[in-house]
Structure formats: C-alpha cells, structure tokens
Structure 1
Amino acid sequence: MQRSDTVLKQVMAAFERESHLKLQNHPIHMTFDGGALTVAGEVPDIASKKRLLQLTQVHSEGQRLVDRLRVAVNPPVGDGELRTRVCDRLVQAVDFRNCVICARVKGQLEVLRGTLDEAGNDGSGVVEVTVEDGVVTLTGQVISLSHRRLASVTAWWVGGCRDVVNLLELAPAEADGDDEISDVLQLVLETDRRVRAEQITINVENHRITLAGWVATEAEKRQAEQDAWCLDAIEGVVNHIQVRA
C-alpha cells in the first residue's frame, strides 16, 4: 500500500496538469485509517472536488475513499438559511411539482408541500432535506434517475452549499446509461440562464461527459462545466467549449 503523502503528491500533480485551477490556498490532506483513505480539505468549487476524488481513486490502488472535501463558501451561510433555500428551490422547480417536499429541522420532520400519504402515489415522490455544517443531505424517493440527479443540481445551484449527499432512492428501479446522462445535462443547461445551451453540444461515453461548441465568455464556459460536474454518478468532464468574442 502506498503512503498517503505519496498518493497526495501524485493526485496533486495530475490535478495541476489537467485543471486551470490552482489549489495553493486550499490545502488538501489524505490519511489511511482502517483500510480506507480519507480525503479532506476545502476546494474552490464542485469541479475541483469531484476531479480530486476521481484522481485519488485512480492513484490509491482501489482503496475505499472517505470524502471529507468541502467547497469553500464566502461568506458562509447558516444551516437554517441554506435548508430554506434548497427547499424553496425544490418547491418552485417544475420537475418536482408532484413531489412531497420536507425539511428535517432539529430532528423534527416538517412537511412543506403535500402530505406523506401522497408520496407513494403514481407520479409522486418525497424529498427530505437535512443540512448540517453546510452539507445538504437528500433522502426519500423519486421516480427517475433524472429526478435524482436534478435534486443534486438544485442543491448546488442555491449557493452556500459545501457538499451534497444524495441518498434518494428510485422507485421503480431504472438502469443508468449515457443517454440518460446526456438528456438530463441538456435539461440542466437549458434551465441555467447563465449559459446558452443551444450553442453547446454534449457527448457522453461510458459516463464521461465531453462538452463542445462555443460561448461568448470564459465565465460561461466554466459555468457549463460546473453544471456537468454537479451531476451524480459520472466519470468525468472534458471541456472543449471554445470562447468566441
């Protein structure tokens, strides 16, 4: 087994080679304990977090990973405010209009829309939001993989979120695939007013997303990539979008 400092050096070198971001002001720590490798620290955004985790998996010889990476938030947002933001966004989202939306507040369940009896109805579901130390945890049940991924994107989009743990179950069960990822990312880009989805092309192969096309600014290019990284259960994002003034 490699030492954790050796893995860290390999991961950081690989990260620097493939990312425009630098992490000098965001120290990352790795420790082996009980057969697992814990990765901890703060990163500037979701893309950095997921890229670091994937590179760590590659260089850690298949060790089980414990994710303690958190996205830096400045200024910080209180757990109550963040929970309200996420719940409000879910209530307003068209794709979750048939879902029961709940919040876990100080251990107590508060139903914000619908009733729990409705959660099992056809075309329905339930999403419960818990927030602790800036980490949003989503539990409950939804009707498709797209809904499951959209719930994570919704949480990341509200601002102030340090991490999202998506524990939503599917009913009925559904096989994942490249077409599913492509379709939901297309919907995400079309929903995000910060990007022009009609100018961006999406290709997904073995759960790895490649973005192409052209946009007007570097900020728009980065936002499209961030949107892709917000999706759960993907193998990576390659951004070939060109910037044309």
Structure 2
Amino acid sequence: MLNYFRRKRRDHWLAQHPIDDALWLPATTMPVLKNLSVSELARLRELAAWFLHTKSIQASAGIEFSDPMRVILAAQAVLPILNLGFEAYDDWQEIIIYPRPFYASHRHTDAIGVVHEGEQLLAGQARGDGPVLFSWNDVMDGPHLDGWNVVIHELAHKLDMKNGGNANGYPALHAGMSEAAWQSAFTAAFADLSTKADAGEHSDIDLYAATNPAECFAVLSEVFFEAPQILQAHYPDVYTQMVLFYKQDTAQRLSPSPYRPISQYSEPSA
C-alpha cells in the first residue's frame, strides 16, 4: 500500500513537472539515444525528470551548471535504467560536477599487502559513501557511440554497489537470471582482457576493464550501450547477460559504429 501511494505521488509530480520541450528535444539528438522508440523516449523523459528532482547536483567552482546541461546529464544517466524503473538509483542522492578532470585521493592494497596512497586525475568517480563525481568535459565527450561514456560507467558502479555496498562486478541479478551464467561469462571475459593487457596487445575494448571485476563490468556496460556489436562479437555470453540485466537489446537498436578505446576512470572508492 505504501508503494502504491508513493507511485501515485510520483506520477502526480511528473504530470505537473515535465521537462520542457526546449530542453528535452535537443538532448534527444545525442547519438547514444539513437533509435529509441516514441514510447521509450517518453519513459526516458519521465525518468530524467525524476532523476533531476531527486538528485542533488552540485557544481564546483569554475562551472555554471545550466538547465540544458542538467538535462544532458540526466538523459545519459537514466538510459541504463530505462527498463529497470525509478527505484534503481534510489540508494544515493548526490552528484558533484567539475569543469574538467579532477584530482581525487586514491588508496589501494597491492598483491603482497602493501597499502599505496596518492592522487589520480579522473574523469569520474562513484564513491561508496554516496556521491558520484563527473568532469563535465568528459560528460560532453560521452554520448557519441564510441564505446566510452563516463556517465554510464560510473552509474554502472552504482548499480553494482546495490549488491552489498562495494562494487565487485556482481550486481544484484533479477529473478530468473543465473548467477552461474553471469560468473562464467564475466570471468572468461576478464581473464581474456587481463591476458591482453599483460601482453600489451591491442584490444577493441578498453583494457582498463582488466583492472578488476568491477571495472570490467563498468567498461563493458559502456560498450553495451555505445558499441554493442563490439561486445557481441568479442564476448557474446557477456552480451547475453547484459541484455538480461539491463533489459535492453542494444545491438538490435543501434547500427554499427566506430569504436575508440580511451581510459580515464577511477576505481570505485570503498
């Protein structure tokens, strides 16, 4: 009953506060939204409006965050949850926007247990304590079907974190999905990417995916939404699991597009 009244209040709010056509229509020309149906775009618009209503978006010094910029961010942000529903991002609220890549503290433990600390220049970061950080320059570089999208990457980490609080490449699966099939597909892909990275080989997929299983899931999520034919060709079992997880068949929706591997991410912080 509580969920019923919550949905009623949300639906009432959305009916009263749609994203204005002057803001929404330019955003729909982003290539990453190519070939969405009329009904899918309408659902994306509602999700984006609710995203902007429920998230606190703070701009750092040096950037004036306008309404058109907010809508461009939101439209990319909600694409992964197009068929997952309004509640998929309910467990976090804050976004911080920087004008360009930013420095953030970095801490990790190596294979022999030595703790290393320092700073990294980042395009984005999904923090385990709540906020998501983005470089606006990189957000604008994202929606071009080149296999690289910092918004999708970091919010894939957030979906991953819903399964226990830490990103580890094993998000909470939907009813009917097989944990064994998921693990088999991603373990094989991660092993192959790691072998290529260790050997210094070329890969059509950004070898930042070989950093750890969490980054593998996030990078392959980018490819799934921006260059799905690449993912389908190299790791068909992963593609199948992505279709089941995101409830979208992106290869069917998108025509082939060139792919440009770039790496500029952070590991999700604990």
Q: TM-score, normalised by structure 1?
A: 0.29
Going by fraction, where is strand more abundant, 1 or 2? 1
Q: TM-score, normalised by structure 2?
A: 0.28
Q: Which has the higher contact order (CA 8 A, sep 6+)?
A: 2
